[in-house]
Amino acid sequence: MKTILLVLCVLAAAVGFVALPFLVFRAPLAYELFVNQKIFYYHVPASIVMFVAVFVAGIAGVGYLITRKPTWDDTAAAAGDLVVIFGAIMLTTGPIWGKIAWGVWWVWDARLTSSLLLWMIFVAYLLVRRYGGPGSDKLSAAVALFGMANVPFVYVSVNVWRTLHPKTSVVPTLQPGMREVFWFCAAAFTVLYGVLLALRVRLATQQAEVERLYLELDDQSELS
C-alpha cells in the first residue's frame, strides 16, 4: 500500500512539474517586473517547502532525543537534506527577482539575512551528521531544533522591520489568475517534497539494514 501511494505521488509530482511551466507562462504578468515576476511561482513555494522541512527536521529531532528510535533520526536526516536543497533554490531564485525589482542582486536586510542564516544552520547540521563522530546524532538533533526555533523569526521579519522584501500579505492578495497558479505550484512542490522525503527515509533504512547485515557477517567470520 505504501509503495502504491509513493508511486502515485511520484506520478502526481511529475505531472505537476510538466504542467507548471505552461501555467506559469499563461499567468497574468506584473508588467513593472516583466518576465522576472514569473520566478515568484518557484521562489515562494520553495521557501514554503523549506520551512516545512525545517519543522519536520526539528520535530523528528525531538522525537529522536526522547525515544532514541532510529526512524526519528532517519526522518530528521532526510528533512535536513531537503532544507538545504530547497533553501538553495530559494536563495538562487530570489536574487533573480531582486535584481529587477530592487536593482541589486542582494541586500542585507532582515528577511534575506535571516533566511541565509537559517540555510547555513542546516548546512552545519549536515556537516555535524557527516563529520561529528560519536554523539553526532544527538548534537544534530539539537541543531535542527535550534533551526526550527528560527523559522518564526524569518517569517515575521518582513512585517517587523523595514525591508525591501515584500511582506507576507502578498500571497493572500494575489489577483485571480495568479492565485490559482501559485497554489498549484505550491502543491506541486509539496508533493515533490513528500516524495523525496519518503525516498530518503527509505534509503536510510536500507543503509542501516545493510550495515547490520555486514556486522553480522563480520561477527560470524570472526567466530569461524
Q: What pLDDT does residue 179 have?
A: 87
Q: What pLDDT does residue 35 have?
A: 62
Q: What pLDDT does residue 205 have?
A: 83
User: What is the rounded CA–CA span in Å between residue 9 and residue 140?
Assistant: 29
Q: What's the pLDDT band for 223 if we cut at 50, 70, 90? A: low
Q: Is 37's pLDDT higher than 90?
A: no
Q: What does pTM read for this prediction?
A: 0.89
Q: Is 187's pLDDT higher than 70?
A: yes
Please give the distance of CA 20 from its chain centroid, rounded to a whole number: 19
Q: Using one digit for the tens of pLDDT, what is the confidence trace for 117-135? A: 999 999 999 999 888 778 8
* For residues 9-15, average pLDDT: 88
Q: What's the pLDDT band for 1 if we cut at 50, 70, 90? A: low
Q: What's the pLDDT band for 164 if we cut at 50, 70, 90? A: confident
DSSP track, 41-76:
HHHHHHHHHHHHHHHHHHHHHHHHHHH--HHHHHHH
Phi, psi of 77 (to 5 degrees): -65, -45
Q: Taking all residues of the chain, what is their mean pLDDT, rounded to a whole number?
A: 86
Q: Is 210's pLDDT higher than 90?
A: no
